[in-house]
Amino acid sequence: MPKPFTPKVITANALLEGDVIYLADNGWTRQLAQAEVLTDEAHADLRMIEAAAQTDAVVGVYLADVALEGDTPVPTHFREDFRARGPSNYAHGKQEQF
Amino acid sequence: MYHYTDFDDAFLKERNAQFRAQVERRIDGSLTEDEFKPLRLMNGLYLQLHAYMLRVAIPYGTLNSRQMDTLAMIADKWDKGYGHFTTRQNIQYNWPELRDVPDMLDALAAVDMHAIQTSGNTIRNVTADHFAGAAADEVADPRPVAELIRQWSTDHPEFQFLPRKFKVAVTGAEADRAVIKAHDIGLRIVKRDDEIGYEVVIGGGLGRTPMIGKVLYDFVSAEDLLPTLEAIVSVYNLLGRRDNKYKARIKITVHENGIEDIRARVDARYALIRDQFTGIDQQMLARIESDFAQPSFRKADVTPYHNTYQHDPLFRSWADTNLADHRNPDYAIVSISLKAHGKTPGDATSRQMRLMAQIAKRYGHDELRISHEQNVILPHVHKGDLPSVYYALKAEGLGTANIGLISDIIACPGMDYCALATARSIPIAQEIATRFDALKLEHEVGPLKIKISGCINACGHHHVGHIGILGLDRAGVENYQITLGGDGTEDATIGERAGPGFSAEEIIPAVERIVLAYLDLRNDPAEEFLQTYRRLGLAPFKAALYPEAAQKVRENAA
């Protein structure tokens, strides 16, 4: 039996800055909390095709697992947690804006 | 040190202009990422976890003050005010933006530096003993031949698409400070009947399948060196596996075919190509050697050193750990620790870089070195100047007296930056250093090398750490495996895995148990950790690491 589809977001790096970005309803966002949460596999496939086609703006598009806290997506794996926040030795990256 | 010729300048200018155009074509959409990626990698530009990363080569670890000042300027202008010195004598900038990289490369070119072949399946930055040209135990300075190899390998048309990356290290001394036995090719300068030649070691490497290099030739004469290297890389280029990335390094080629078979192939290839080397390389080497002439050492009073040594215990502690013997008895080699307790190993701020440049210019014959252990070296400091150097360094957080001690940790960037990493390294290094600083034990423990890698690729050299730590992802949680008894010197040894891994919370107490066990087990304070380990083996350390398992064994025996 295929595994049930778990909630995901589409993520990549911005071509110019290299920043971690997430696909939102209208374009890309730098905040995971604003990402579009994908709960339907067919819809996720479609959004992946749309996202991956934007080769002039983004690099390395993939689906990342998330859990939902209320409606807000949060990372399930520590790698995605660091990507969403920044490195642990300096307050650089996204945490600079928090 | 080596100064670029008109040819070098023109080559670099053209190469940087090419890359600038490639970046523009990527941004305007003419190049896809698949097309652009190999081009950016050839110029040292990675896309990492949070941002791009530019890796700049510091050939054989040698810099002058002008170059160090430029590294600081680049950190301020296009990055976040710091740089990370790596285990391969490179500097990495963690936050450049794509549009700025061509300008960064032009700024580097203005001081004879580049990022070419710091990535990709090519011959990488040639590394060398960081005490080169100064060490008391040296047969000859390894830097001229390292520079010759840099020139030979840069843009070498046959070797731009090797099966995998290829790393060369050179040492000029019996004591191996360049980890040559863990390189694809390791060279050691040797003397036979007054003739200078090279011992050639191949097939060393760490990573997924760690191997200690094997001696291919015990003596290759100077004029035969480049044709021999060309023959080795040529044989590897054809024979090395391209079907499996994890079996593509020359260590596997040597392992699968045997050193005798490789030697026969290299001999055959050498016979075929030897005529192409007409001796021009030796003329070039002679010219390069004149660039590396020894500085004119000055005669001056060394009394300030002895006075300060006697009266300032902090200076004395620093002098005892951070100085090494210079070939001139009035001089010392200064290791500047980039391992202040609790800081990121190998990181220097732009202020610190500028200060080190200033000190090198004023007190150090304008020379700086980067060590594979992620520290900065002032190779030539007159002993009379040591107090001034120490107090200046201390004022900028660079006076830590811990070279070779437990907090002088090698750590790769790990999952804080690296896209390949499976766990973090930096916080583990920070916590170990902070913990042993709090215990005030590290000077009592003495020489002990901890090396941490955040993935199996082993950039943090964990296999050759006295205590090696490897960070892995175990079912979505960071997990740290310990290896013991590794050694990266001329007695190179791969460490033994101690047993099951530890969580991020458990790893610091685990390291502490090993160190406390060593203090109990050593014959006397003169017996270093590695000596005790070699005398007793893994068992008593394993018992200390896993007390519950040891308890069960005792119960079952009772």
Render pLDDT for B483-493 as a digit per residue (tens, 0 to 9): 999 999 999 99
**Does position A3 have pLDDT exceeding 90, yes or no?**
no
**Does position B556 have pLDDT exceeding 90, yes or no?**
no
Per the prediction, chain B carries an average pLDDT of 97
Render pLDDT for B387-409 as a digit per residue (tens, 0 to 9): 999 999 999 999 999 999 999 99
Tokens 């070699």: give the residue.
B534
CA distance B413 to chain A (A): 10
Return the closest-CA partner of residue B402 out of B450, B337, B460, B451.
B337
3-state secondary structure B93-105: ECCCCHHHHHHHH
Q: How confident is the model at residue B69 (pLDDT cuts 50, 70, 90)?
A: very high
Render pLDDT for B163-189 as a digit per residue (tens, 0 to 9): 999 999 999 999 999 999 999 999 999
Instruction: Answer for the pair B375, B421: CB distance below 8 angstroms, yes or no.
Output: no
Residue B10 burial (CB < 10 Å; 0-12/13-18/19+)?
exposed
- Our measurement of the distance from residue B198's CA atom to the centroid of its chain's CA atoms, rounded to an integer in Å, reads 21
**Measured between CB atoms, does A7 come within 8 Å of chain B?**
no
- Taking CB atoms and an 8 Å cutoff, what residues of chain A touch B27? 15-16, 56
* Mean pLDDT along residues B197-211: 97
Instruction: Give start and end residues of each alpha helix (H) in B32-166.
Output: 33-42, 65-78, 101-109, 143-153
Spatial separation of the C-alpha atoms in residues B379 and B358, rounded to whole Å: 14
Candidate from B4-13, B523-532, B549-558 with smallest mean pLDDT: B549-558
Q: How confident is the model at residue B474 (pLDDT cuts 50, 70, 90)?
A: very high
**Measured between CB atoms, does A97 come within 8 Å of chain B?**
no
- Taking CB atoms and an 8 Å cutoff, what residues of chain B touch A51? none
Contact A55 B427 (CB under 8 A): no
Provide CB contacts within 8 A for B190, sequence distance 6+: B139, B196, B197, B198, B199, B218, B219
Instruction: Answer for the pair B146, B187: CB distance below 8 angstroms, yes or no.
Output: no
Contacts 24+ apart (CB under 8 A), B440-443: B441/B406, B441/B515, B441/B519, B442/B402, B442/B405, B442/B406, B442/B407, B443/B317, B443/B321, B443/B405
The pLDDT, as a whole number, for residue A98 is 61
Q: How confident is the model at residue A2 (pLDDT cuts 50, 70, 90)?
A: confident
Among B27, B50, B476, the residue with its CB nearest the CB of A20 is B50
User: Phi and psi (nearest 5°) for B15?
Assistant: -65, -45
Instruction: Answer for the pair B442, B405: CB distance below 8 angstroms, yes or no.
Output: yes
Q: Six-digit token pair at B43?
A: 């110029």
Contact A77 B476 (CB under 8 A): yes
The pLDDT, as a whole number, for residue B194 is 93
Supply the DSSP symbol for B371. -
pTM of the model: 0.96
